[in-house]
Structure 1
Amino acid sequence: MADFRARIRSWLAENLSGEFASLRGLGGPGREHEAFGERLAWERHLAAAGWACVGWPVEHGGRGATLTEQVVFHEEYARADAPAKVSHLGQELLGPTLIAFGTPEQQRRFLPGIAAVEDLWCQGYSEPGAGSDLAAVATTATLEGDDWVLRGQKVWTSLAHVAGWCFVLARTEPGSRRHHGLSCLLVPMDQPGIEVRPIRQLTGTSEFNEVFFDGARTARDLVVGEPGDGWRVAMGTLAFERGVATLGQQVGFRRELETLTELAASCDDPLVAERIDRAWVGLEVMRAHAIRTLGDPAPGVAEVSKLVWANWHRSLGELAMLVRGAVGLVTEGGLDEWQRLYLFSRADTIYGGSNEIQRNIIAERVLGLPREARP
């Protein structure tokens, strides 16, 4: 494993140079707009060298890396301060979903474009009335001849304004309720009947979007899994979302904490020192939990992991504002890194499954407690 780590570390050091040297650290949360075209070119360079989909099986265009090798890759990518990826949704979510649930025809059609970073994807799950509660999805898809016709609205759709395709969770069985009658459809974005409206965030950027489907179409065979099996497919996708890439995320967290600790060195407030210590302990617990449960499909594991990192990172943003003091309330020509961290981390406990939903899942499905009253 040391050889594998040394190989990827050496490759990143050698290749994050020249035209790509200026991309280090760009494109993180709240900064998705930074050097988008250049970061896309970097990812295609990464893909050409075989470092794009390290965990995919070789027969599907990946490197066939073990779980441990995948962790090492994501850690080294983060340690090199390599730019945030623009193809994350395709490579880390949809690609593994197609490998697990897609037909051979779907795999042959879509996996090569994802692996080469030629096709960018977005995820059409959340809706105004169905955020973390995906079972409340109301967007419909009706079969008309050889096409599914979609009508409805999605919200908080990351990178929909640049994506060529969207994997959409829609209700395909009229009269169905909750998790029954849903299907996962692969929908081209560049067509009549689709409107994308950017949502301006607290950070001033617009990574998120509203997406309106008004008669948009996709082919009959572009259903992942069987029609009506969308809930199982969607849960599989969410499990992939919380996979080994989170270990690389924690490297970024550690960098933020170390930098904040240096900033707090001149602060005499004992409360600040105590919270710095607690943050360090929390980060160690987070990593230990992630490694202990790596690849564990047991119910509740993914939900606990989401609660741990989301709450920790939100607290770090609050700690940064405490360290900055009154200076942190003032902007001069735009947000600094700590203001951006504080504002964007408010969303950490919401996106990818809100705290409330994660706790309900743990309580009801793992601990067997009574279900929360629902309308």
Structure 2
Amino acid sequence: MSLQGFRREVRAWLAANLDPALRGAGGPGREHEAFPERLAWCRRLAAAGWTCLAWPEAHGGRGAPLAAQVVFHEEYARADAPARVDHIGETLVGPTLIAFGTPEQQRRFLPGIAAVEELWCQGYSEPGAGSDLAAVSTRARPDGDEWVLDGQKIWTSLAHVADWCFVLARTGPPPEGASRHSGLSYLLVPMRQPGVTVRPIRQLTGDSEFNEVFFDGARTASDMVVGEVGQGWRVAMGTLAFERGASTIGQQIGFRRELDGVIALARETGAARDPVIRERIARAWVGLSVLRSHTLRTLDGAPSSQDASVVKLLWSGWHRSLGELAMDVLGAAGTLARGDAGELDRWQRLFLFSRADTIYGGSDEIQKNIIATRVLGLPR
């Protein structure tokens, strides 16, 4: 089928199946919106074969080429379809298991991810190990045919609804003369057990999609290590490299919709008559165009942490600036909450949540260090 034919197929299916009540629901800062309905929607996508497009057919995917993946995510975003609740499983865990997992692990987990029957969260950051991920102190010790975990993770997105968590934990000290990155292992841990406690973190927006997760004697089977014991850093970095993908194009379509909304708002409020605002809108349009071109260029090849760092640096700064622009377009009205409950409108929520864009998923400082040392060859 041609790309044009595939685009028509995607567009027609979304038009026939998407409930208008779900349009625009969910996403960063709004993960609480219509969660059960969005979960049912994702399972409907799975049943129709629209999940895991990039996975090989042998692992339950469609083996779709990059161009087809881009088309799907473009049409999904243009239809204003709801934010997916299964993205951590499909875009992070699944590709990691395909690349590094054992056949047994692949058979156990990939079908549940593809069918959206099991949801996942990411156990990386800790109170003392955010950007410096190698400093994690969560430990896992062997006990018979199981691992026993003790420690704490933080900023764990969707942990309160997840069935499983992939956890970077220290399973032994680094060998003499080796870096701190040795001695870490990548474990798959069930969330619904007595040794796991999830505590929501209230955000600036008033929501709680991030969580603290406490492991207090939590257990997982001894064969739930992805890759070799003590060599989890390589697997963890592979997961981060998989985080960039064709879905980032869909994210950028969503950004374009937000920018169009800000432009319409500027016309409505009269801010568009301000030459400074007009210049900032023009810069935002150019910046988004550059981001799209760069992303398409870097997607055409094997994923690398360096490329992922550049893309993260570009989109996070752009999106945070858009939130600031929205507030300036609103003017004084942007400082007022709505109604007796103090509800936020979409622009206030965008501004508040996007303050974190340059921090979560790897802070700007860390991304710049990666680019400096690994791309430019500068000394540490």
TM-score bracket, normalised by the shorter chain, equals over 0.9
Alignment of 1:313-328 (within 5 A): 313-328=319-334
Q: Which residue of 1 aligns with 2:227?
A: 225
Q: Which residue of 2 aligns with 1:130?
A: 129
Report the residue type matching 1:247 in the other structure. I
Report the residue type matching 2:15 in the other structure. A
Instruction: Tell me the secondary structure at the aligned position of residue 192 of structure 2.
Output: coil
CA contact (8 A) 1:26 1:84 kept: yes
Residue 178 of structure 1: CA displacement?
2.0
| 1:339 is the counterpart of 2:310 | no
Q: Which residue of 1 aligns with 2:63?
A: 64
Instruction: Spell out, residue by residue over 1:330-369, the C-alpha distance to the aligned partner (whole angstroms, 9 max, x if none).
Output: 0013000000000000111011111000001111122222
CA contact (8 A) 2:241 2:304 kept: no
Report the residue type matching 2:139 in the other structure. T
Alignment of 1:72-221 (within 5 A): 72-174=71-173, 178-221=180-223
Residue 295 of structure 1: CA displacement?
3.6
For residues 233 and 246 of structure 2, the distance between their equivalents in structure 1, rounded to whole angstroms, comes to 23
Residue 228 of structure 1: CA displacement?
1.2
Instruction: Tell me the secondary structure at the aligned position of residue 300 of structure 1.
Output: helix
Q: Which residue of 1 aligns with 2:259?
A: 257
CA contact (8 A) 2:309 2:370 kept: yes
Structure 2, unpaired ranges of 5+: none
TM-score by length of 1: 0.96
Instruction: Tell me the secondary structure at the aligned position of residue 343 of structure 1.
Output: helix
Q: Which residue of 2 aligns with 1:352?
A: 361
CA contact (8 A) 1:157 1:211 kept: yes
CA contact (8 A) 2:129 2:135 kept: yes
Instruction: Spell out, residue by residue over 1:201-252, the C-alpha distance to the aligned partner (whole angstroms, 9 max, x if none).
Output: 0010000000001110100000011111211101110011111110000000
Instruction: Tell me the secondary structure at the aligned position of residue 198 of structure 1.
Output: strand
For residues 261 and 107 of structure 1, the distance between their equivalents in structure 2, rounded to whole angstroms, comes to 46
For residues 292 and 193 of structure 1, the distance between their equivalents in structure 2, rounded to whole angstroms, comes to 45
Which of 287, 290, 308 is residue 302 of structure 1 equivalent to? 308
Report the residue type matching 1:326 in the other structure. A
For residues 196 and 312 of structure 2, the distance between their equivalents in structure 1, rounded to whole angstroms, comes to 32
For residues 86 and 364 of structure 2, the distance between their equivalents in structure 1, rounded to whole angstroms, comes to 26
Q: Which residue of 1 aligns with 2:48?
A: 49
CA contact (8 A) 1:182 1:229 kept: yes
Report the residue type matching 1:86 in the other structure. V
Report the residue type matching 1:184 in the other structure. Y
Which of 330, 340, 346 is residue 336 of structure 2 equivalent to? 330
CA contact (8 A) 2:149 2:215 kept: yes
Residue 298 of structure 1: CA displacement?
5.2
Q: Which residue of 2 aligns with 1:361?
A: 370
Deviates further, 359-368 or 295-304: 295-304
Structure 1, unpaired ranges of 5+: none
CA contact (8 A) 2:121 2:158 kept: yes
For residues 85 and 178 of structure 1, the distance between their equivalents in structure 2, rounded to whole angstroms, comes to 35
Residue 175 of structure 1: CA displacement?
5.2
Report the residue type matching 1:173 in the other structure. G
Which of 281, 286, 290 is residue 281 of structure 1 equivalent to? 286
For residues 304 and 178 of structure 1, the distance between their equivalents in structure 2, rounded to whole angstroms, comes to 25
Residue 301 of structure 1: CA displacement?
1.5
Instruction: Tell me the secondary structure at the aligned position of residue 378 of structure 2.
Output: coil
Report the residue type matching 1:190 in the other structure. R
For residues 43 and 12 of structure 1, the distance between their equivalents in structure 2, rounded to whole angstroms, comes to 12
Report the residue type matching 1:277 in the other structure. A
Instruction: Tell me the secondary structure at the aligned position of residue 228 of structure 2.
Output: coil
For residues 58 and 298 of structure 1, the distance between their equivalents in structure 2, rounded to whole angstroms, comes to 23
For residues 195 and 281 of structure 2, the distance between their equivalents in structure 1, rounded to whole angstroms, comes to 51
Count of aligned pairs between the two proteins: 368
Residue 370 of structure 1: CA displacement?
1.9
Percent identity for Structure 1 against Structure 2: 73
CA contact (8 A) 1:299 1:365 kept: no
Deviates further, 260-269 or 145-154: 260-269
